[in-house]
Each structure stands twice: as structure tokens, then as C-alpha cells.
């Protein structure tokens, strides 16, 4: 037995580990996920004099990228049963079109996107996971622009 000693005042402390040639190994797994919370629409604030109504913006879909950087995603809304709109850090809006078998209405309580090694969320590759357990593959991304 090899003992290692370190002086502590006048006393010596011995290493209690045996030196029998065994190698101990350990493994550490770190899992990460991105959680997107879908905000509920708050009721309008009552005012003494109501503000004139603002017409809702109409969005037009244009061709989008194959992948998005996950760190750019800031918020999400669910405009229809087959898509999720994502607001990016630079102000752009992207629509994630989901595979046909999916209904995104199951995502209202929130959803997850598991980060990939490259840090991107890609159509045809990545899944969006509902908190209730459902998962949907992203079919395509569309860039949204205001339709005048």
C-alpha cells in the first residue's frame, strides 16, 4: 500500500485509498433544452376613452432558410394548427411549418426544442416537443413579411 502523507502541523494524514492497480472511471452526461413559453393574450385594459382599433398585420410567406440559429429565437406564437411563428433577435419573423400529422394547438401550454450539436434548428431534421409529450418535425421555415 502506497500512502501519501501531508504535514498538518506536527501530524501526518495518510491517503485512505488503496493502490491495488484498479482504475476508477466516471461518466457525466449534461442535457440541455430550450423552453419556449407561449404567452396567453391578456384582456384589453379599460380606458375612459377607447383608442381607435389597430388593424391586425397581415403576413405573407416567402422562402425561408433551411435552419435557424437557436440562440436567435426570442419568442413564439401559434397562428394556426400547422405552424409556429418565431420572432428572432434581429426582428425577423419566421414561420415553422410542421408535418401534416401534427396539430400545433397542443403546444399552447409550452414546448421544447432540443439543441443540436451545431446549435441550429433545421427543417427536415429537428423536432418540436410539446410539454404533454407530443412531438412534431419541422417541415419548412418560411420568412414572414408584412403584406401591404
The predicted-structure confidence for 97-123, as pLDDT tens digits, reads as follows 999 888 887 777 778 887 788 999 999
Asked if residue 16 is part of any domain, the answer here is no
8-state DSSP, 58: -
End-to-end Cα distance, the chain: 82
Would you say residue 126 has pLDDT above 70? yes
Question: Domain of 68?
Answer: 34-39+60-146
Examine residue 100 and state whether it is found in any structural domain, yes or no: yes
Nearest to 108 by CA among 130, 139, 86, 87: 130
Total number of domains in the chain:
1
Residue 5: what pLDDT? 44
Residue 133 resides in a domain: yes
Model pTM? Answer: 0.63
Cα 90 from Cα 136, distance rounded (Å): 26
Residue 76 in any domain: the answer is: yes
* Mean pLDDT of the residues in the chain: 80
User: Given pLDDT bands bounded at 50, 70 and 90, which one contains residue 40?
Assistant: low
Question: Is residue 11 a part of any domain in this protein?
Answer: no
Residue 17: per-residue pLDDT = 58
Amino acid at each position: 500500500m502506497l500512502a501519501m502523507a501531508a504535514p498538518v502541523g506536527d501530524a501526518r494524514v495518510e491517503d485512505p485509498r488503496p493502490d491495488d492497480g484498479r482504475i476508477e472511471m466516471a461518466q457525466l452526461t449534461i442535457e440541455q433544452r430550450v423552453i419556449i413559453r407561449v404567452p396567453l393574450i391578456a384582456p384589453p385594459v379599460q380606458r375612459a376613452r377607447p383608442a381607435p382599433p389597430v388593424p391586425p398585420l397581415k403576413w405573407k410567406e416567402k422562402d425561408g432558410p433551411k435552419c435557424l440559429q437557436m440562440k436567435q429565437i426570442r419568442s413564439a406564437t401559434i397562428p394556426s394548427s400547422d405552424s409556429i411563428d418565431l420572432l428572432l433577435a434581429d426582428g425577423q419573423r419566421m414561420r415553422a411549418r410542421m408535418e401534416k400529422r401534427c396539430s400545433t394547438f397542443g403546444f399552447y401550454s409550452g414546448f421544447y426544442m432540443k439543441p443540436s450539436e451545431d446549435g441550429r434548428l433545421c427543417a427536415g431534421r429537428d423536432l418540436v416537443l410539446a410539454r404533454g409529450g407530443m412531438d412534431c418535425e419541422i417541415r419548412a421555415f418560411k420568412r414572414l413579411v408584412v403584406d401591404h
